[in-house]
Structures are given as C-alpha cells and as structure tokens.
Structure 1
Amino acid sequence: MLLEEKDQTMDLINNSIKRAKGELVDARAPELYLESLGISEKEKLLAVSLIGKTKIDPVVNVIIGATSGHLYKDLIGRLESYPIPELRLEGGHGKKLLDIGCNWGRWSAAAYKLGYGVVGIDPSLGAIMAAKRVSNSLNFDIKYVVADARFLPFSNKYFDVVFSYSVLQHLDRRNVELCLKETSRLLKDNGYSFIQLANKFGMRSFYHQLKRGFRESLNFEVRYWTPSEMVAAFNAFIGETSLEVDGYFGLGIQKSDIELMSKFHQIIINVSEALRRMSKIFSPIVYLADSLYVRSMKTLRLYEEVDIE
C-alpha cells in the first residue's frame, strides 16, 4: 500500500514497489525479498548462507544490529532466539495497537504478548515478509501491512494506541509532522501515542553529533530532538504530552535482552536501567537520557486544524 507517485524517504521503498511489480527480484533467495531490505551485498550474502542453518530467520539474523541498536552488533549471524523486548504499556485487553516502522516485528510481538490486537506497518516489503515469517513461527496472530507512515491506509479513529520505536528520528521535521498528523487522525478519542525519539542531550547522542561535526543530518541518519522540541511538536499535533526515559548510553538498550549480551554490555544495560528508575524520582536526569519515549494523549479536536507549513 505504498504510493508510487509520492516522494520517497528511502530508496528501499522504490525497491519494494519494484519487487511487488516483479521488476526487481534477487534470484539467489527470492523468498527473502533481499532487494527491498536496504542492506549491503555482504549482508545479503550472509543471509543467503544462513538459510536452513538456524531456527532464527536469516533476515532477522542479519539485520539485528541495524534494527535493535549498537549493543546487538555482536549477535549478527549468531542469534539463537528472537529478542522480544518488554513494552512499557499497560495490558492491551484486545485494544488495537499500530506499530509504525515495525521492521521484522520485534515490538509488534511485544505488544501482542501484552494482549493487544496488533497491526505493524513498514515501507520495506522484505521487512514485512520477515515479520510475517517470525510471527508465524511464534504462533502470534499479528497483521502486517507494507505502508508509509505519512499516508496510512486505515480509517479515522481506528486505533487505541499508536507506537513507534527508532523510526521517526530518521525523518526530517516535515515528514515527522506528516506522520504525527496521521497518528492523530488514526487515534480514537482518548487514545494515545507512545513514540521513541533520540534525545539531543544524551551522552552517546552528543558523541555522535560531535563525530559528524554537529552538521545537519543527511538521508537516513538519526535526527536528534531536544526534549522541549518533542513536547512542542507532539502537543501541537496529538495532545497533552509527557516524556519517559527509555534508556541511557545509546538507543535500543533493553533490560529484557540482558542474557544475550556480553558481560561488558550487561554492565551498560544494568547502569542504564538503574538510571531509568532513578529518573522517576529525580526528574532532571530525564533530560540526559539518550532515548526518550514521548507519550501523548489524543486531544478531542479535528486533526486538520494543525497547520504543518
């Protein structure tokens, strides 16, 4: 459900459209949809070499570092189980949740385990097909759709919760605003969004900004937001907004995956988790977290009232 006539945010979207038309097919492993994953030739070769050699999906085994964070790079090609994180939401009880930019379905699976009726969307056909394979292998009833977060194929007020992790931070502000407008349109009255963004003032965030000379982000590079920018944007497009710490020392650092990590990375995770808990008592350290959740309650108003120009 991608719109071919729109300007695309990534080349892999064009490749997904071409693959859907049968115009671009990697004959080495057509079932993996490698041409629409946005990965390197080396990574494609690794995925092909893993076919039939592990119980973990070959695509997930290859893209785990890119999709889950820098602590997971050592697990590339060596995964023995799917790292399903803890989603810090209340029980779903059948409520509808949209996972924007779901990729292979890691967070969609976490939401399903909490009792949500989950729909995951991603513009990568290869990622969606991997998500379907993973979901089937886990016997999870999750719906997946190839779609663009800026132009979503769902009716107004369809979802109770809209979630996204490590997605909007890769888009420029204009495209983020389009996504937030869609999020507001899709949320039921009194529904809410729970969306992760990279904090400009985080320690590792500062390191990455310094490394690239504090220049403007290009292409799919991470865009860093100040906490006040997050609150202002989400207040304007969705409603009353608050911030919660996801983690320190990087993005994607999850306590639930600690057993998969090296001893050094386990220390990082434990310190991050300790700081996260401390932030609930001493709120100023919220602003030093690398990864923040933005929680916004849908305001009862027409989403069209917000001017994105």
Structure 2
Amino acid sequence: MDTQRSSPAMTARKVLETEADALRLLSDHLPADFEPAVQLILATKGRVIVSGIGKSGHIGNKIAATLASTGTPSFFVHASEASHGDLGMITEADIVLLISNSGETQELGDVLAHSKRFSIPLIAISSRAGSTLMKAADCKLLLPPAPEACPMGLAPTTSTTLTLALGDALAVALMEARDFKAEHFRTFHPGGKLGAQLSTVSQLMHGADALPLVDTATAMEDVLIEMTSKGFGTAGVLRDGALVGIVSDGDLRRNMARLMQSSAGDVATMNPVTVPPDMLAAQALAVMNERKITTLFVVEDGRPLGILHLHDLLRAGVA
C-alpha cells in the first residue's frame, strides 16, 4: 500500500494552525466565569494553590510560577503528593485552582475533597462542562471544543496550549487589577538580563563624589582639569547649585578658537538632557541611543545627584 506522508514543515504548520485556531476560539468564547475568578482571587487573603497531574501538572506549575512572579502569591502542589501529606500546604485562607482536561482525573480527588471539607474556594479549568470537577467548582473556566493537534487526537497539545494561555490571561488580568508596575516586577526578578533592565538609574549611577561639576563662571582651564580628573569626558555646569548646562568634548571642539579665554557658561550646552533617579535603566539607555550621547546627569529638583555612563549600563547587562 502506497502511503504519502506530510513533510515535517507541513506537519509543523498544521499543528501551529490548529492551535492558533483554538486560541482564537478561546478569545472569542472567553469563559463566563473568567471575571468572577479574577475577583475571587483578588479578594483572597491567602494564595492560589494550583494542582494537576501529567501534562496538566506541568502547565499548572508554569501558571503558578507566572502568578507568583506578577503579584499573586501562588505555588504548585502535585496532586499525588497532596494525598501523602502535602494537603497541609492548603489553608482555609487560600484558593485552589485545579486543572484537568477531562474533569475526571482521579488523582485530584483528595485535593477536591479537601477544598470542599474546609470551604476553600475552587476554580477549575477543564474541557468538559458536566464533569465531576466542573460541577464542584465555584468558578468554571471552560475550554472551548477544539481538536488536539496530535494526528491521533490523543496527546495533550491544543488543550494544554489553551490552558497555558488562559493561565497567562488570568495572571495579566490580575496584574492590571493590582496596578502591578515595573518596580514591583523587579522585586521578583532581580537576576539576569531582565533584572538588569528593571534596575533604576539610581542603582547604577555614580554618586555625588564622582560628579564633575563647575560653576558657570569657572575658567575653562579649570573646567578641563575637572573633566580630566573625573574621567567622564564631560562636566556639569551649575548656577546656584542647579544644573543648567554641560560641557562635553563636542563643546570643546566647537569653541577651540577662543576656548582658554572663555568660562564654562560661555562654552556649555545649556538645558541639557537629564534623567531622574527613579527612571528605569533601560529607559535611560533609550535616551542615550536617541540623543547619541554616552553620559547622562541624574537630576532631582534641578540638582545633580549622580552621573550615568553607557559603560555602566553595558556592565550591568542592560544593553
């Protein structure tokens, strides 16, 4: 018998199209209990306890991690381990989120019974509205009917993608409801490139002792000494303690003919670009790139607090 198989690329496209169609279906048919589930979680004083088994367990682990990192205290409890003592991790102040595509997963039985025994609110994610799990749930997050991408229709593929996406939607909705900002996000992501990008200017800048500063009346001979000694290739120009200008290498070249007969105020570029100390380092880098400059004075209420160099951002891993 002559059988014709699809190429790997054709198979990949078919899988992606199947799952993409399912995601659009989920978007068009968001579970009716989605908003009540968000409100239920916002009202809880405890944590969101996520549980599942098999592929649903792997997805649940990721959902719990995403919730925890975006301002909603959460952790994953393995359904089988729960039956051997880990039920003690679930308190009456918590909410339980159970995941089962069929809604009949036996291993979830003890967690389900525990939640009912202690009146712990229950949110369920499942594809079967009439299942045991969905009947028991306070909030029912029903996945729309969509075929698995597996050619036999058996391996959890589309269903796990939908569950993961619904978990992301839940986490982001909670983020917005809590007004969760970048500075909060950094608290839970201090490491790696993401942590660096979420650093603030004040965390990376050189402080007051390193600042190259002169007065508007300072002779350029002394300005050059200050620029050289501090090593930033620039000097901030002050008037009554406020930063009103900067002298850069470019300013020196533009005023070379009369440089040594001038004062800092004569040579400086006035009203320079500055940044506040609480600006994200990544935003400061964007300012540098846009203005094609390598240093920024950090200013608050008109007064210089520090200086930030492009190399500081590179060393921290922001770029």
TM-score scaled to structure 1, two decimals? 0.28
TM-score scaled to structure 2, two decimals? 0.27
Structure showing greater relative contact order (alpha-carbon pairs closer than 8 Å, 6 or more residues apart): 1
Structure with greater helix share of residues: 2
> Which structure is larger by alpha-carbon Rg, 1 or 2?
2
